[in-house]
């Protein structure tokens, strides 16, 4: 808690430990994290068509569904906004706007 280079919020530290335990529980049931999260998109990359980046939402229906799944599996700090960012970072959704040169390549 005294190390200023890491997260010092006790709730977030405890949530990280709880999330690791929850992931291990899923794995004991034969479910990988990949299977768990991709189920929300029917194992397909979502392809929304935003004209420009100002149209990007802070969350989506799928991110809300993923958040509910995480909560049901006893994960902490996995709200819809965090889940949406997770989905973007892990390629579950292609949120490059139509004007972005990367939209077609993803």
Q: Is residue 99 part of a domain?
A: no
Q: Is residue 20 part of a domain?
A: yes
Q: Is residue 97 part of a domain?
A: no
pLDDT at position 93, please?
94
What CATH number did the domain enclosing 79 receive? 1.10.340.30
> What is the mean pLDDT, run by run of 10 residues, along the chain of 106 residues?
82 95 98 98 92 88 98 98 96 87 72
The pTM score is 0.87
pLDDT at position 5, please?
84
Q: Is residue 96 part of a domain?
A: no
Q: Is residue 34 part of a domain?
A: yes
Domain that holds residue 78: 10-89
pLDDT at position 41, please?
97
DSSP per-residue codes, 9-58: -HHHHHHHHHHHHHHHHHHHTT--HHHHHHGGGTTS-B----SSGGG--S
């Amino acid at each position: 808690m005294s190390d200023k280079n890491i997260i010092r919020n006790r709730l977030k530290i405890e949530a990280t430990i709880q999330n690791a335990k929850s992931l291990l529980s899923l794995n004991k049931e034969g479910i990988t994290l990949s299977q768990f999260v991709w189920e929300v998109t029917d194992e397909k990359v979502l392809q929304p068509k935003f004209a420009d980046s100002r149209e990007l939402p802070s969350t989506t229906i799928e991110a809300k569904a993923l958040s509910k799944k995480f909560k049901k599996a006893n994960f902490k700090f996995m709200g819809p906004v965090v889940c949406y960012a997770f989905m973007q970072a892990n390629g579950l959704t292609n949120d490059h706007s139509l004007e972005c040169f990367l939209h077609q390549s993803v």
